[in-house]
Chains A and B, each alone.
Chain A
Amino acid sequence: MRPAGKGALDSLYFDYPIFKARRVPELDGATTRHPVLIVGAGPIGMTAALVLARYGIRAVLIDRKDTFNDGSRAICIARPSMHILERIGAVAPFVEKALGWRSGRSYYRGEQIFRLEMPHPPGEKYLPMYNLQQQYIEKFLHDAVAASDLIDMRWQSELAGVECHADGVSVRVSSPEGDYRLNASYVLAADGARSPVRSMLGLRLKGDNYEGRYVIADIRMDHDFPTERRAFFEPSGNPGGTVLIHRQPDDIWRVDYQLREGESEEDAIREENIRARVGAILADIGYAKPWELEWWSIYSANTLCLDDYRHERVFFIGDSAHIVPIFGVRGLNNGLADAENIGWKLALVLHGEADDRLLDSYSPERRGATLDVFANATKSTRFMTPPTRGWQLAREAALSLSLRHEFPRGLANPRQMQPYTYAESRLTPHPARDAEFAGGPLCGSAAPNAEIADGSHLLDYAGNGMTALLFCGGGQPDAEQAALLAQLGRVDKRSVALLIGADHPQTGAKAIPDRDRSIARVFAAEPGTFYLLRPDLHIAGRWKTVVPGEILRAATICLGSETP
């Protein structure tokens, strides 16, 4: 919502473009079957289209709206998402515009009780978190979509019906240019929390709703405070409710505040009440200068998801599949990981490089990630919005003790999540190999990054197929290792081999210098250690010394081969 007298898109800082509907070939009788139809051109749908385009796969992308999201909504982009944006060739404007951060503070009755420091290992290329309004996220992704010949973007095009067939999906689309039928081999439903695709297929989200409601309000102010997450428990500016403050680009600040028990939603979202509450919160943090109200909305925490993120040839990605509480900033970030996960798998299947069995791994992996978020989010949501007297009393006791004691302070940790580890996925067939290592990233986890002497980063050299990291410790691959790399190249023609700490490159393998062994340390590697990365840079397996049979098997399983 926006202040009285302003239109829905009348923003203080963002100029909304208006996209027209186009006359599409289907309106003139074309019946081509498209490889992929993506419903919903939000951040998740556009990212999915760009992941497919990276592999040369065409997609039709439809959206019923004629422009970007009406408000800033999802504003936190986590480090793994920056890597996804990098791989789809869209990260540059994000780095330029977004505000990176790595720390936060929690206060109780005005006194700081917790200092959040998110892990930031020295070899990482990106900060743990970046703040950017969703309109910019969509604009930057759309710039990349518009520059791609492989993406057929259709605005003002609404899904009117969907039918699943054995060999494809047939949908009806309504647009101002006319209504038409469109056929696709696969559909990605990125149509948001109220997903029409989900309703049309008769599927329902299941899970829990939480009591606490938050108003999220954006204001413009000239406030001199670093980009950090600030959480205020029991602040005098919003008695009985928690407050969160985040900085965004263009001098825009997000003020989230919890409504008091019994407070009516209808009253809470009235402009005069928003202004009064925000004013009191600003006075509380010592801001006395003028400010302008930009946009606001209301939110309540839910943990809801589909039982299966796949329905025949339809895959649900982002909010259409799962709704998570905002406190862990996993809504957007998990959605982007969904888009990448289904994107590489679908692309390899459509190219005939992987068996379509590979698509079966999408739902277990990404639903597993959702359930993991739920487990953490339930904890942070109970702390942010205590549901009963017992939770309220326990929180008040813990927070008040935090003023003088260290031990309860960790309870105020917002639990900003790390990316999910696919340890139990069938694409991670040898997790027991972790026992050989004294440290380093576990099987199924996202690969850490490392800086190379020339200023570039290890993951810059990963490919869009499997990536092999062979640690050479100053030497060269021996005959067995060289034969393994050659065979991996035959199993996966996209595979890339990186020789870490090798003297010079080999045929088909790039040497990555590691004189101070810093990369080897990050991976707890010794000469002969082997890591196999999936196209999404999760670790498919790791071996202290090469076991060619297991390594090749792990690679073929990641390409959809049978029995793990």
Chain B
Amino acid sequence: MSAMPFEDFETAYETLAMAIDTAGPEREALFLTRLALVLGHELGDVTAFRNAVKAALEGLE
């Protein structure tokens, strides 16, 4: 997986935080699932997607 320049990544982080608030607590799970499907499709690489899912699942408290 190629990494983003830090500034861009920080923008992505802020965009995500604001979008979760826009979706609201009732719809945040649906929003995040939709986001994951859209990103997975854009990524075009099921191995990279699986790795991303694994990284996000690991260490969930």
Contacts and interface: CB of A to CB of B under 8 A. Distances in A.
Contacts of A393: 29-30, 33
Interface in B19-49: 29-30, 33-34, 36-38, 41
A408 B38 CA distance: 9
A196 B5 CA distance: 69
Nearest to A397: B33
Contacts of B29: 393
Interface in A257-271: none
Q: Which residue, B30, B37, B38, B41, has most C-beta atoms of chain A within 10 A?
A: B37
Contact of B30 (A400, A405, A407, A408): A400
A489 to B, nearest CB: 52
Q: Which residue, A397, A401, A405, A408, has most C-beta atoms of chain B within 10 A?
A: A397
A397 B34 contact: yes
Contacts of B34: 397, 400-401
A466 B41 CA distance: 47
Contacts of A407: 41
A408 B33 contact: no
B31 to A, nearest CB: 8
A407 B36 CA distance: 13
Q: Which residue, B33, B36, B38, B41, has most C-beta atoms of chain A within 10 A?
A: B33
A396 to B, nearest CB: 6
A394 B60 CA distance: 19
Contacts of A400: 30, 34
Interface footprint category on B: under 10
A500 B37 CA distance: 50
Interface string A390-415: 00011011101100010110000000
Nearest to B29: A393
Contacts of B30: 393, 396-397, 400
Contacts of A398: 37
A408 to B, nearest CB: 6
Nearest to B37: A397
Contacts of B37: 394, 397-398, 401, 408
Nearest to B33: A397
Interface string B6-29: 000000000000000000000001
A401 B30 CA distance: 11
A383 to B, nearest CB: 14
B17 to A, nearest CB: 20
Nearest to A408: B37
A246 to B, nearest CB: 30
Contacts of A397: 30, 33-34, 36-37
B49 to A, nearest CB: 13
Contacts of A405: 38
B34 to A, nearest CB: 4
A401 B37 CA distance: 9
A114 to B, nearest CB: 16
Contacts of B38: 401, 405
A408 B41 CA distance: 9
B19 to A, nearest CB: 14
A396 B36 CA distance: 13
A393 B37 CA distance: 11
B33 A396 contact: yes
A344 to B, nearest CB: 42
Nearest to B40: A407
Interface in A369-424: 393-394, 396-398, 400-401, 405, 407-408
A465 to B, nearest CB: 46
Nearest to B38: A401
A407 B37 CA distance: 10
A400 B35 CA distance: 12
A393 B28 CA distance: 11
A458 B12 CA distance: 61
Contacts of A401: 34, 37-38
Contacts of A408: 37, 41
A255 B34 CA distance: 30
B23 to A, nearest CB: 12
Nearest to B36: A397
A557 to B, nearest CB: 39
B11 to A, nearest CB: 23
Interface of A: 393-394, 396-398, 400-401, 405, 407-408
9 closest pairs, A vs B, by CB? A397-B33, A397-B34, A407-B41, A393-B33, A397-B37, A401-B34, A393-B29, A396-B30, A394-B33
15 contacts: A393-B29, A393-B30, A394-B33, A396-B30, A397-B30, A397-B33, A397-B34, A397-B36, A397-B37, A398-B37, A400-B34, A401-B34, A401-B37, A401-B38, A407-B41
Given A396-B30, A398-B37, 19 more contacts: A393-B29, A393-B30, A393-B33, A394-B33, A394-B37, A396-B33, A397-B30, A397-B33, A397-B34, A397-B36, A397-B37, A400-B30, A400-B34, A401-B34, A401-B37, A401-B38, A407-B41, A408-B37, A408-B41
Interface of B: 29-30, 33-34, 36-38, 41
